[in-house]
Structures are given as structure tokens and as C-alpha cells.
Structure 1
Amino acid sequence: MKQSASRSGIPLNPLAFIRKYDELWTRMLFLLGALIVYRLGSHIPVPGMNPVSLADFFQRNDNTFLGMFNMFSGGALERMSIMALGIMPYISASIVVQMMSAIIPSLEALKKEGESGRRTLNKYTRQGTLALAFVQAVGMSTGLIAGGLTLTTGLSFYIPAVTSLVAGSMFLMWLGEQITERGVGNGISMLILASIIASAPGMISQAFSQDMNLIVMMLFVVLGVAVTAGIVYIERAQRRVPVNYAQKQQQGRKVYAQQQSHLPLKINMAGVIPAIFASSLLLLPASLGQWVTVSENPTLSQEILQNISLVLQPGQPLYLLLFGVMIIFFCYFYTALMFNPKEVAENLKRSGAYIPGIRPGQQTKRYLDFVLNRLTFIGAMYMTIICLMPMIIQSVFNVPIPLGGASLLIMVVVLMDFIAQIQAHLMTHQYHNQTLVKSPNR
């Protein structure tokens, strides 16, 4: 009986069933522990802050860029914790390194060197993160002192504040890499998702606390469900390019039948990266301008930064224009980094495959490039509409919207990727167990 039970794949006891998914359980526990550490760290304040003045300042600037930056940091900025900078320096450094790797031949060659090249690019990204975090920490500390939000001034505040902020940002970068390697899902995306989820209840309660018509609330709920369903539909949509393989002759007179397959091309191949990149790039100059210009008697340079910060507030025409343009640009840019039609065409030609009606080689490359450009255009328009629609509705109708389009898009896409990775781990375990059952040596 025991032998038949083991060969049928049924665990002999509950402990064996739990042990069956031991690796996935370990990864889930690591992810949970990392997120708990992140949330605990977001409540550790920077030394020398005045909590009363800080709370009053953020209450007056709730609907500005500081409010959006605070949401992406999970409330760490409002509490001025050691993780107030969040992972934005790392994202900005990643943008710079990826853009440079597309135009600098030496960096482009590193991408083709495999694991060693990837480690070198990661080293450059970490160094860029350190530099950007230091610059942002100094600017933030200067703004805090100028706004009278600190208990001390001078080096007695600069040294502990800058050190704490830079250390917090570098720790988040390391934590995100550890989640990617030892947890489930992309580490940076999971940290952003945790920040948005932590800020969402307060934003929703604040929106519902205002005088809003019940019908308007119901319309927003229905609109949110419809937008979420649309995001799921588009993210799962694919353009399947048919691929045929040439006939192969076997020994004797038997010939294999022509094999048919397809090349799946997603409509939104860039995922949520363009929205994150565009948000981080727009947050950087506006947030620095907001911090530097809080003094009562600003200089000429501070007035210029103040004007830039005002015109780049969410909902302003210049902000909407730049945000949309950046999303479209990063959709094309990141798609070009992920999918190279020339390499795909060469791989198909070497494997004896071809697209029906298209000659192998250069014509296949041009055809894939044409299809990819059309799909990327549709994906860029979809992402731009999702991200800008709530801001336009809020500006035109003056109705508070608890979650922005970029936040909703990030939440849905990251959760879909998280569920897909869990399913992949489950399938791996199932395949491994079936192999063990069928093996005669087990």
C-alpha cells in the first residue's frame, strides 16, 4: 500500500505535502519578512526633525508633488524617516545606465557578455544610486533647514541627516535585489507595491471624507473596476506571429510533417516600467525645487526652481504633456531594449524557421519591426490614457480621486506578475514530483 501510494504521487502524510512546496514557502516567508522590515524602517525618523512643523508642512502641501512622492515612499517622506528617499534614486540610476548602454558602444558590449557584463552594469547602477541619493539627501536637508523644520542647523544636522537618508536608500536597493533573488517577484516592484498599498487606505478615507455625492462615488467605483479589467485584458493580450519550421527528413523514407508554432508578442511589452520611469524623472526636479524653495526670502535661483515646481504639479498642463511624452518615449525605448527584431530574425533563420509569406533574413527583420512598432504604439497610448485619465478628471471636474492611474497600473501589473511567478513555482514543483514518481531509481 505504501509503495502504491508513493508511486501515485499522493503524499503519505501532511508533512510530506508541506515539504512538497518547501522552496515556495521559504520564498514567500522571505518576501513577507523583507516587506515587514521595509515598513518598520519607514517609521524610523531622521535625527533632528521637528515633528510638529513637519506635519503642518505636509498638510499644506498634500496635493502637490510632495504628496505623490510621499505615496511612492509609503508615507516615509511625511514622517521624514531614514527611507524618505525611497527607491527613486535607484530607479533614476537604472534609467541613466540603460539609456547609456543603448548609445555607448562599450556599455552595449557589456550587455552581450552575459553574467559578467550584467554584474558590471549593476555595479555602475549602484554607484549612480549612491551619487543621486547623496545629491537628493543634501538638497532635502537644505530645504528642511531653510523651512524651519529641524531642531538644529549646520553640520550637526547635515551629517546625521544625509548619512541616514543615503543609508536608507542604499538599504532599500539591497533589499529589492535580495527579494528578486531569494523571494517572489521583482524586488523593486514589490517595494513600490507595498508603498502604494500602505498609502491607499488613508487616501481613500480622505477622499470619501469630503462631501461627495453617492452617485459620484458609485460611478468612480464602477470606473475603477472597468479600468482594472481593461488593464488585465491589455496586459494579457498578444499578437501571435505564425512561424513554420522546414520539413526534416528522417532515416528511411519517412519525413516529418511541417511543424507550426507562433511567436508571441505582447501589446504592452514594456510592462509598468515606463510609468515608473516617467514618474521618477518628473518627481526629481519638482521635489528638489519644492524643498529648496521653502524659505521666506528666496534668491533668484530659488525663485526659478519654485516656478518650475509650480508648473510641474500634478494636473498642470505642462506636467500632463511631459508625463505623456515620457511614457510614450519609455515604451518604445524599453521595448527596443527587450526585443531585438534583428536577433530574432537571425535565430529563426538559423533554426530553419520562417514566417509564412515572409522571406527569412532582412525581410523577416523588417516585418517584425513593423509589427512591433504598431503594437508598441497601441501599448503606449493605452498606458498614457490610464495614467493621465484620473488627473484630467480631477482637474476638470474638481473631484478627488484616491488612486492615480499610474498607481493603479503598477498595482495590477505587479500583482499579475506576482501571481504568474507563484504559478510558475507550483508548476515546477509539480513537474519535479512527477519526474521523481516516474523515475525507476526512486
Structure 2
Amino acid sequence: MFDALQNIFKIPELKKRVLFSLGMLAVYRVGCHIPTPGIDRLALAHFFKQAQGTLLGMFDMFSGGALERLTVFALGIMPYISSSIIFQLLTVVVPAIEKLSKEGESGRKKIIQYTRYGTIVLSFVQGLGIAIGLESMRGPAGELVVPNPGWSFRLMTVITLTAGTAFIMWLGEQMTEKGIGNGISLIIFAGIVVRIPTALSNTVRLLNAGQLSLFVLIFVLALMFVVIAAIVFVERGQRRLPIHYAKRVVGLKTFNAQTSHLPLKVNMAGVIPPIFASSIIMFPATVANFINVPWVQKAAKSLTPGNLVYDLFFVAFIVFFCYFYTAVTFNPVDVAENVKKHGGYIPGIRPGKETSDFMDSVLTRLTFAGAIYISLVCVLPSILIGKFNLPFYFGGTALLIAVGVGMDTVAQIESHLITRNYEGFLKGVKIRGRK
């Protein structure tokens, strides 16, 4: 590991990229502590303690605690992610956007520009909703979270939060272009891992107080290692469909017979299903914070993490969105047609419809396995917190994102090292897809 780090700083370009990314992440973390004016911090902190397990708590996790403190980066990068997902879905539904996606680099740039506009619109709407919601919140003694409510406060909050999200979006794009790794993913990664020191200190405090036994702590640490290893194992897992290309002549050029493969990941949908599932199932609990009706409060309580009803609905939504998002992003008919157009075929399968049906059947089985894997990881926090009274949130969407981003970033660093005749980031290990 130390040799790999030394190799990084031996390459001026790679060193510059790594330091640039670290610098941009430092700027992001500084912005997460610049407060939005007009807020009573103590009353707001009390409200967020009551909002744990709701949609607000999940958004606060992705923003690295910026939403709980209502800083200028309170909205985080979630509006950009939501806008990106919306345009991915519109690519299938709207023919004009689908046509843009097939126009190569120019079409991709236009879709990115539309995504930016969508981010600003979503940030404005979410900022206005937060500003109006804050005016109705009260602290432990009944004091208002917003001492001076009104349209002046709303406009100031909306402009501040929208500008903060736009700046984070710019930071992420600069990191992707001039740094190492995907900038947007690294910003989410930073917001998640920044809570690790607090979790460790809480664990030590409970251990010293006798509320957490040493045996349970050792068991949990071993379980953490196993779960992370399992995530790495599955995320790199692929089903490689062999593709044979016959010898063909195009003009004056002759292309010899070739053999390739089509990689199908076990988890084709990534972390989108748990994000969608969490957003939908936590929405009632979030609304209940603003509605003081007994039956609404009771129904919302059953849909918070740690309850059996929540876990059942959560798993059901994850399975549904795994199949839905995979169907949106991967079209077996189009892939089979492209393979046929280039003279390729899967051995033993006729080109055309039979090939698309075969791909669809393979993808269906892979998606089922991926959905079960995501469901197990995502319900793990409820089990650990409920059974072992852990003081930290281990597992779920946050762990999937953290491990996935870490693997992708290490893979990019490794590719830079290998292209310059250095060993990979980890000696004797290649970060690549597993058959």
C-alpha cells in the first residue's frame, strides 16, 4: 500500500489529479459548516433528533450533516442525482431525448446541460419547501426555529440553498474533469464517511460505560469485514455472454473472426433501487412531522426503520425497482440487434429474437440475485440496531455507495499506474470484473 502511494506521487499528472480532488473535497466540507442565516440552531437540532428514521434523516446522511445544521450546502447533491435519474427515465419515454442520447458526444452534452437546468429547478422547489416547513417547526420549549418568518426569509433561504447546490454540482464536474474518480460520487462518499469518527467515539463511550460488551463489538467488527468483502465480491461479479464475430469484408478491408463477450453485472441497477425505495417508504414518516393527528402519527411510526412492516415494504420496493431500473437502462432487443448488425452471435443461439429472449432470461435471473443481495445489505442496519443496540448506522444504501465509490476510484488510480509501467494500487491484485 505504501509503495502504491509512493508510486502515485512519482507521476506528476496523477499526483496533481489526486491533490486537486482532495482540495475540492476540503472546500466542500468547509461549505458544510457555513450556516444559513435566520435559523435558531438549537431548536433545529432538537427537531432533527425527532426526525430520525424519516426522509429528512436520509437526506441529512447524504449531505454529511449539512441539512441538520441547515448550512449553505444543506440540499447536498441530491437534486442533481434526482435530475439525472429523471432524464435517464425520460430517455426511454420521450423520443426527442432518446434521439439525443444516440447522437454521441454532442447529444450527451445537451442532456448534461438539461440535467443542470433540472437541478436548479429541483433545488428551487426543495429550498422553498424547506423554508416554508422551517417556519412551522418548534424547539423543545416551543420556540420557533425561524424567529422572523416571512417571504424575506423564504427568498433568502431559497437563493442560498439553490446557489449552494449549484456550487456543489460545479465542484463535482471539476473533480471529474481535472481530478481522479467521479466527482459527484466522491462528494456523496465524503458526506457518508465523515460520520465514521463520531460513530467510533460513540462506540468507545458505550464500551467504557458497559452498555456494549467486548464480545458483541468483536462480533460486529467481524461481521463488518464479512459484509464489505461480500459487497466487493458481488459488485465485481459478472455473467459474460460469449459473442462470436464471423469473418467479414467491408469495402477493401477484411475483418478476421473474433471472440468477445457481453458483461452483465449481477447488480445492474446499482444503488438506485434502495434510494427510490427509501424515498417512497419514508415519505409518510416525513409528512407526519408536520401533521399532529394521532392516527397519522401511528401509521407513520410503523413505517420507520426497525419495524417489521417497514422492512417488508422496503424489500418489496427494492425488488420492484431493481427490475424496473434494469429494464429502463438495458434493452435486450436493441443489444441483440446491434450484435446482429455487426455480424455477431451467441454460440448455440440464433441471432435476432432468440438472442434477445436469451439475454432477457439471463438478465432476469441476475436481477433477482442482485435484488436479494441489495435487500440483505439494506435491512442489515435494522437488525444490528434493533438486536445489538449499535450506536452507528452500518449497512444499507450508505455502505453500498461508500464501497462502490471506493472501488471505482481505486480502479481509476490503478489504471493510471499500470499505463505508466507501475504495479497496481494493491500488489498482486487487479481491480476488475469477476467472472
- Category of TM-score, reference length = shorter chain: 0.7 to 0.9
Matching residue of 1:244: 244
1:319-398 equivalences in 2 (<5 Å) = 319-395=310-386, 398=389
Distance, in Å, in 2 between the alignment partners of 1:259 and 1:314 is 52
The CA RMSD measured in Å over matched residues stands at: 3.0
Unpaired runs of at least 5, structure 2? 1-6, 138-143, 423-435
The residue that corresponds to 1:222 in the other structure is 222
State the match for 1:406 in structure 2.
Answer: 397
1:133 to 123, 127, 140: 123
Q: Which deviates the most, 275-284 or 215-224?
A: 275-284
Q: Structure 2 vs 1, CA of residues 329 and 177 (structure 1 numbering), >3 Å: closer, same or farther?
A: farther
Q: Distance in 1 between matches of 2:202 and 2:55?
A: 17
- Alpha-carbon contact 1:88-1:280 (below 8 Å) kept: no
Q: How far 1:47 sits from its partner (Å)?
A: 0.6
Amino acid at match of 1:423: E
1:315 is matched with which residue?
306
- Whole-angstrom CA distance in 2 between matches of 1:230 and 1:331: 19
Give 3-state SS (helix, strand or coil) of 1:78's partner. helix
The letter of the residue matching 1:132 is L
2:83 to 76, 93, 99: 93
Structure 1 residue 54 corresponds to structure 2 residue 44: yes
AA in 2 matched with 1:363: E
Tell me which residue corresponds to 1:235. Answer: 235
Structure 2: distance between partners of 1:19 and 1:102: 44
| 1:149 aligned residue (140, 145, 152) | 145
Aligned residues: 402
**Residues 4-23 of structure 1 correspond to what in structure 2 (within 5 A)?**
21-23=11-13
SS of the residue aligned with 1:212? coil
Is 1:139–1:288's contact at 8 Å kept on the other side of the alignment? no
* Contact map agreement 2:282 2:304 (CA 8 A) in 1: no
Q: Which 5+ residue runs of structure 1 have no aligned equivalent?
A: 1-16, 250-254, 432-442
Stretch deviating more after TM superposition (338-347 or 218-227): 338-347
Choose 1 or 2 for highest CA Rg. Answer: 1
Contact 2:35 2:70 in 1 (8 A): yes
Q: 2:247, 2:106 → 1: CA distance? A: 39
Q: Paired residue for 2:162?
A: 166
Q: CA deviation at 1:355?
A: 1.5
TM-score (norm 2): 0.82
In percent, how many aligned pairs have the same letter? 50
What is the distance in 2 between the residues matched to 1:118 and 1:221? 43
CA deviation string 1:31-51 (max 9, x = no partner): 111101110000000011112
In terms of mean alpha carbon deviation, does 132-141 or 273-282 score higher? Answer: 273-282
Contact 1:92 1:281 in 2 (8 A): no
Q: Contact 1:272 / 1:413 at 8 angstroms: preserved in 2?
A: no
Q: 2 CA distance for matches of 1:289 and 1:26?
A: 48
Q: In 2 relative to 1, CA 371–63 (structure 1 residues): closer, same or farther, beyond 3 Å? A: closer
Aligned residue among 179, 183, 188 for 2:184: 188
1:410 is matched by which residue type in structure 2? I
**Structure 1 residue 161: Cα displacement:** 1.6
Query: Is the contact between residue 55 and residue 278 of structure 2 (CA under 8 Å) also seen in structure 1?
Result: no
Q: Which amino acid aligns with 1:73?
A: S
The DSSP-based 3-state class of the residue aligned with 2:87 is helix
TM-score, length of structure 1 as denominator length: 0.81
